[in-house]
Amino acid sequence: MRWLAILSLAILAILPFFVPQSVVYLLGLTFIFVVYVISWDLIAGYAGQINLGHTVFIGIGAYTTALLQNPERLGIILPHLPIWLTIILGGLMAVAFGFAIGAICLRLKGYYLALVTAILPLICIQLLNVYSDVFGGYEGFSVGFGKALASSLIGKYYISLAFMLLCIIATVYVIKSPLGIKLKAIREDEELAEAVGIDVVKYKLMAFCLSAFFAGLAGAMMVHYRITVGPDLFDVPLMLTIILSAVIGGLGTIYGPIVGAFMIYLAKNYVFARIVQELSLNVSDEIFLYILLILIILKSPEGIFEKVRRMLA
């Protein structure tokens, strides 16, 4: 698997010189989407906590950097801040919100946690509309071409690729650390983990904050990649796409959610979109995702990555 990962990275490194610009742009978006998925898998796949409001962290990170780069929307005057600094601040703001929510919600178990977190994105979307003069309402707003990650598309592509790799490395480090071992213990049997002395709430909260940090960074990166911020970064369809990617790839397998993220995002935004357009179908391209999910659950409930690995073994 390591050699396959190295080969894939080498292909991605030279790919921009051999494919159309539209594909390069889409791949850059995909790299950021991969971080959405692995950050959710950290809390769901390893800590066993189903957070259905993960897009809240993405949106908070996105709007934080967008407003800091356009402080006039807040009615205040700020000195010009470097883009990288506001991206980090977006991640930290997501952590602060994640800590506040997690300290309350993570004492809940099972479906109760999922139900409470599922409401959060809907509340945030309503707030964006209520304070539309600040947040731009349902249409969002542009941060300006001068606030892009790089002046060229290829530059943005490589920054996005480097960001994805750094986040993957950091996530793997967390998973293989003592913290990761304790999270797996909580996932397997929360009561037993508590019985052997693991502070369950503490470690779940740590995982929640780490997940929020990576998601907030990714949301902020997305804003400076596509130059716009909008409520779609909070939206339910995005949350469903994240869940689909992690489940289809294989929860808690490190590389499974990465593979699933590439498959689903490229399929949704390129393959399925072209099928709908070419055949003039009067359906959403997301219907293909749901069909694919049903097939995977029936044929390979452990995920594609785990099934392929067992076949190779």
Beta bridge partners of 229: 141
Per residue of the chain (313 residues), what is the pLDDT tens digit?
A: 677 778 888 888 898 988 899 899 999 999 999 999 999 999 988 888 888 889 999 999 999 999 999 888 887 887 888 999 999 999 999 999 999 888 888 777 667 778 888 888 888 888 888 888 889 888 888 888 888 888 889 999 999 999 999 999 999 999 999 888 898 888 888 888 888 888 888 888 999 999 999 999 999 999 999 999 999 899 888 898 898 888 888 888 888 889 889 988 988 887 766 776 666 666 666 677 777 777 777 776 666 666 666 666 6
Range of the domain at 227: 25-235
Residue 300: CB atoms within 10 Å: 16
Is the torsion defined by CA of 56, 58, 60, 66 positive or negative?
negative
- The answer to whether position 31 is within a domain reads yes
Residue 45: what pLDDT?
A: 86
Does 68 map to a domain? yes
CB proximity list for 232: less than 8 A, separation 6 or greater: 140, 238
d(CA 206, CA 201): 9
pLDDT at 215: 95
pTM for the complete prediction?
0.91
200 occurs within a structural domain: yes
What is the model's pLDDT at position 80? 83
DSSP letter assigned to residue 51: -
Cα–Cα distance for residue pair 38/190, rounded to 1 Å: 22
User: Angle at Cα 123 formed by Cα 257 and Cα 73, nearest 5°?
Assistant: 100
pLDDT of residue 36: 96
The pair of structure tokens assigned to 259 is 């593979």
Rounded Cα–Cα distance for residues 23 and 307 (Å): 29
Give domain status of residue 187, yes or no.
yes
For residue 159, CA distances in Å to 165, 225, 296 come to 10, 9, 33
Distant-in-sequence, close-in-space partners of 49: CB < 8 Å, separation ≥ 6: 43, 106, 113, 204, 207, 208
Identify the CA nearest to 53 among candidates 297, 306, 235: 235
Residue type at 207 in one-letter notation: A
Domains contained in the chain, number: 1
